[in-house]
Amino acid sequence: MTTLLPTSTAGSLPKPSWLAEPEKLWSPWKLEGEELVAGKQDALRLAVEDQRQAGITIVGDGEQTRQHFVTTFIEHLSGVDFEKRETVRIRNRYDASVPTVVGAVSRPNSVFVEDAKFLRAQTDQPIKWTLPGPMTMIDTLYDAHYRSRERLAWEFAQILNQEARELEAAGVDIIQFDEPAFNVFFDEANDWGIATLEKATEGLKCETAVHICYGYGIKANTDWKKTLGAEWRQYEETFPNLQKSKIDIISLECHHSHVPMDLIELIRGKKVMVGAIDVASDTVETAEEVADTLRRALQFVDADKLYPSTNCGMAPLSRHVARGKLYALGAGAAIVRKELSA
Ligand SMILES: [Zn+2]
């Protein structure tokens, strides 16, 4: 990256109210057929424009073409029956009715490649594309076929790798895998979760990232966060192995969370996407607050490896708030960039 402190979001941005009901996850589309295809592309264009105006360096699609960061990918796979539902506990946190794995899983067609090509055509800036990680995928399904979380994760890793290679060919500069499950299932993450993630990145020449967070600002997550105590040390469990992994960039949450900043030291040598925007609050950060978080992070990550970002996706926020936070991120990074080059 030629720009110092390249900014990006963790992934999602709110959708326009004419496309889907705002401030809601899994919000149903308001359009259908060709109108929906055109509507998603128009929304993607607006997301790119918002990022451009805010001075964001690494541009994403704001996840405008998908309903949910995990489910939409799985909907395109075969071997999963969305009619056959079972109630399971998601990330040990809340019960949800989920689809069932009924046979061997495979990816008959590319999922996001056309959307990524469309994003590529909208900007000359570097682009980032997000995919769910294998461990987070298995955690949103009932498995009646493999009956092994690990085996299913390896299958998904292969499928993700096929998709990732096509995204790279479409001109994506950074492919990010979302693995909030790494913050919950430490033993599995260390035993095979990180290995399956590396499998998903096999053979890629573009940069790879893993996003590990404490989730969107939805009630199930904020309730869970209240049980975690004053200091959140979950990253401590997986960072030593992630530091040794082939993943280039680690995306984590910092601002307003109870994560001790010095845990970043555990991934020294990696590029770090530091969450400097709280996505669980409607209060828009000032540029100076963002700059302060980045300055504190600089104690533990070299300046050329610091990538200012958001704690998580901003899909559930209002567009007005999300846009304000994008501007704060861009302006806060600009302050510190100036200090570093002085
Ligand atoms: Zn997240």
Strands 249-253 and 207-212: parallel
| Å from CA of 19 to ligand 1 middle | 23
Q: How far is ligand 1, taken at its centre, from the CA of residue 22, in Å?
A: 19
Q: What is the mean pLDDT of residues 120-140?
A: 97
* Domains present along the chain, CATH in parentheses: 33-341 (3.20.20.210)
In angstroms, rounded to a whole number, what is the distance separating the alpha carbons of residues 113 and 97? Answer: 29
Joined together, the tokens standing for residue 167 give 């995204």
Average pLDDT of the segment spanning 47-68: 97
Read off the pLDDT of each residue in 163-176 and give the average, rounded to a whole number.
98
Mean pLDDT of 237-263: 94
pLDDT at 203 (0 to 100): 98
Rounded distance, CA 34 to CA 16, Å? 17
CA dist., res. 39 & res. 64, Å (int): 9
**pLDDT over 80 at 1, yes or no:** no
- Length of the chain (residues): 342
Confidence category of residue 191, pLDDT binned at 50, 70, 90: very high
pTM of the model: 0.96
Q: What is the mean pLDDT of residues 36-59?
A: 98
User: What is the 218 CA–ligand 1 centroid distance (Å)?
Assistant: 12
Three-state secondary-structure class, residue 90: strand
- The alpha carbon of 283 and the centre of ligand 1 are apart by a number of angstroms equal to 18
Q: What is the mean pLDDT of residues 36-54?
A: 98
Distance (Å) from CA 62 to ligand 1 centroid: 13
DSSP state of 190: I
For every residue of 94-112, DSSP letters joined together read: EEEEEEEEEEEEE-SS-SS
Q: Mean pLDDT over residues 315-325, rounded? A: 96
3 C-alpha to center of ligand 1: Å? 24
Nearest to 104 by CA among 157, 165, 161, 156: 156
> What is the 282 CA–ligand 1 centroid distance (Å)?
17
State which H helix or E strand residue 188 sits in. helix 186-188
Q: What is the pLDDT of residue 91?
A: 81
Helices then strands, each counted (H, E), the chain: 11, 9
The first and second tokens of residue 218, run together, are 């939805």
Phi, psi torsion values for 28, nearest 5 degrees: -70, 150
Distance CA 102, CA 105 (A): 8
Distance 311 CA to ligand 1 centre (A): 6
CA of 213 to the centre of ligand 1 (A): 5
pLDDT bin (cut points 50, 70, 90) of residue 224 is confident
pLDDT tens by residue, 10-42? 999 999 999 999 888 888 999 999 999 999 999
Query: How many angstroms separate the alpha carbon of residue 34 from the centre of ligand 1?
Result: 31
